[in-house]
Amino acid sequence: MTAEPRCQEVQARLSDAWFARSGFAGQDLAHAGSCRACTAHRETLLALGHAFDAETPPALPSARAAAIRARVVAELAAPATAPARRALPPGYPSELARLLFWALLPLPLVVAWYALLFRVAGALLGTLMPELLIQALGASFALVVASWLALVYGAIPFAAQHRAMRRNPEVSP
């Protein structure tokens, strides 16, 4: 707020007093009376205090508190009625393995293709753009590719479940 050491000390003491909820010291108030920066600091603290006071939550009527408490106790005492987890369809593991196999098979090719693309694009752009910009472009491109791969491979378990359920229609809900 201000570079003057004396003002920093005064403002630190004002803050300490505010946090301790004790009154401001007379000497600090006297200084603030003739210093605009310290007056502003003191007014900020006072405004903060008013804001906090206004935010004090209203007290809960005791009857309402008792009702809430009774409901919480009843809910905690009730037996857990979590719905049983639906079992995965019977063909799921083999479907998952099959899909994973076919999805992972071209992965080295995909990675090699993008690595080549990176190198060619880097060499082509190297004459036109600064190195740093190319690196940033490459990083964002790699992020997009990685996101797509994550999306595709992340969808495999769901696809496997869907296919297994289609093959065993009697299991599906």
Please report, as ranges, the residues that interact with Zn ion according to CB under 5 A: 7, 35, 37-38
**38 vs 43: CA distance, rounded Å:** 9
3-state class of 146 per DSSP?
Answer: helix
Tell me the CB-side half-sphere exposure of residue 49, using CA atoms within 13 A: 15
Nearer CB in complex with Zn ion: 1/66: 1
Shortest Cβ distance from residue 75 to Zn ion (Å)?
Answer: 57
Nearer CB in complex with Zn ion: 11/92: 11
**171 vs 66: CA distance, rounded Å:** 47
Shortest Cβ distance from residue 49 to Zn ion (Å)?
Answer: 20
Shortest Cβ distance from residue 143 to Zn ion (Å)?
Answer: 50
Q: Are 65 and 142 in contact (CB under 8 A)?
A: no
Nearer CB in complex with Zn ion: 11/96: 11
Q: Are 46 and 40 in contact (CB under 8 A)?
A: no
Q: Are 7 and 38 in contact (CB under 8 A)?
A: yes
Q: Are 31 and 56 in contact (CB under 8 A)?
A: no
Nearer CB in complex with Zn ion: 18/92: 18
Shortest Cβ distance from residue 127 to Zn ion (Å)?
Answer: 60
Shortest Cβ distance from residue 41 to Zn ion (Å)?
Answer: 8
Nearer CB in complex with Zn ion: 46/112: 46
Q: Are 92 and 159 in contact (CB under 8 A)?
A: no
